[in-house]
Amino acid sequence: MDGLLLFNKPIGWTSHDAVDFIRRRIGQKKVGHAGSLDPLATGLLLMLLGRGTKRSQEFMASDKEYAGTMTLGLATDTQDMEGRVLFEGDASRIEEGQIEKIMKRFCGEQLQVPPLFSAMRCQGKKLYEWSRRGVFVEPAPKKIIVRQFHLFHFFPPEVHFSVACSKGTYVRALCDQFGRELGCGATLSSLVRTKVGRFSLADALCEGEIGRLSLKEIEKRLVSA
């Protein structure tokens, strides 16, 4: 098979788990993805099949959109709910207007330091490999663009939001910095990737659907790459 398969990655899976699943399901080794998702995140993962793998860099350069939740009053070393708690702050007086004001300030071009628990490479290893060894390395900040940061709902201490951003943006790091700006700490508690470039999660197949469909039916769902 050659082309692009839109996959709704389930929670708990690494992006490589998704590649292995598709390889086994279609009986084809030449399968890759265009832009990883953390295990705790769900949503749209672009699976590249056959000749589609040649366009990996093109798809990885696409803007991304997410819907997520961050929990105020908490900061962890992984910048998500699985990490070790580093700080607990008082978020009881935070108001919706403060949140919206800071979200507006976050829009635009900026430098972002990648999370220490991430797959970003630094000094020959992935950052999470250094962190798990207890070795601190300081990654270089990366230029990112936050095109839109929108508040859906504020149900204290949870902030439900959407964000549209450039490639290489870590939403975990965005939430951590957001908490610093508020002064109470914030940690990403859930994340769904809803869009990659022109491709939407609404058109993606989930694990169960791919398991039920025949190979011919799966091939019909491929997007030409």
- The residue written with tokens 């070790």 in the block is 84
- For residue 126, give the amino acid letter: K
First-to-last C-alpha distance (Å) of the chain: 11
Largest CA distance in the chain: 56
Query: Which residues, at least 6 apart from 76, have a Cβ–Cβ distance to it below 8 Å?
Result: 82, 83, 84, 85, 86, 187
Tell me how far apart the alpha carbons of residues 15 and 38 are, in angstroms, rounded to a whole number: 7
Nearest by Cα to 161 from 99, 94, 117:
99
**Contact criterion met (CB below 8 Å) for 164 and 41:** no
Please pick, among 2, 17, 20, 38, the residue that the annotation labels catalytic: 38
Tell me how far apart the alpha carbons of residues 161 and 69 are, in angstroms, rounded to a whole number: 6
Task: Cite the beta strand spans of 99-172 per DSSP E.
Answer: 108-112, 121-122, 125-126, 142-155, 158-165
Q: Between vectors from CA 14 to CA 125 and to CA 136, what angle results, nearest 5°?
A: 30
Catalytic, 38? Answer yes
- Active centre residues (catalytic): 38
